[in-house]
Amino acid sequence: FCFSMIRSFDVVPEIRATCIEEIGNWIKTYPDVFLNDSYLKYIGWMLYDKQAEVRLKCLLGLQGIYSRKELVSKMDLFTSRFKVNRFLAM
């Protein structure tokens, strides 16, 4: 996973998009391990990416997380930090 976190800052948008997509998948599949601020921050940061493809992967990953009612309550800090400002802007 460390490789993916480092690659999230890659200059190639496709690599950033793939990394963010995988982080979203890991969070949905293994929420007990990955649903925390240490991993969510990468999705939050990439919501501001210049490339639409990267932002779309963030939104799709977040959609999968927010669609699971048992996970929403664990998203409070992320939601308060990113949702109001960036989600509405997008």
CATH number at residue 13: 1.25.10
Query: pLDDT tens across 14-69, in order?
Result: 988 998 999 999 999 999 999 998 899 889 989 989 999 999 999 999 999 999 99
Of 12, 11, 14, 24, the residue nearest 58 (C-alpha):
24
pTM score, whole prediction? 0.81
* Total domain count, the chain: 1
Domain that holds residue 66: 2-89
52-66 and 37-46 helices, crossing angle to 10°: 140
User: ∠ CA 27-21-48 to the nearest 5 degrees?
Assistant: 100
Confidence of residue 77 (pLDDT cuts 50, 70, 90): confident
Counting Cα atoms < 13 Å in the Cβ hemisphere of 71 gives 21
Per-position DSSP letters for 5-35, written without gaps between them: HHHTT-SSHHHHHHHHHHHHHHHHH-HHHH-
pLDDT, average across residues 63-87: 85
Rounded Cα–Cα distance for residues 39 and 82 (Å) = 14
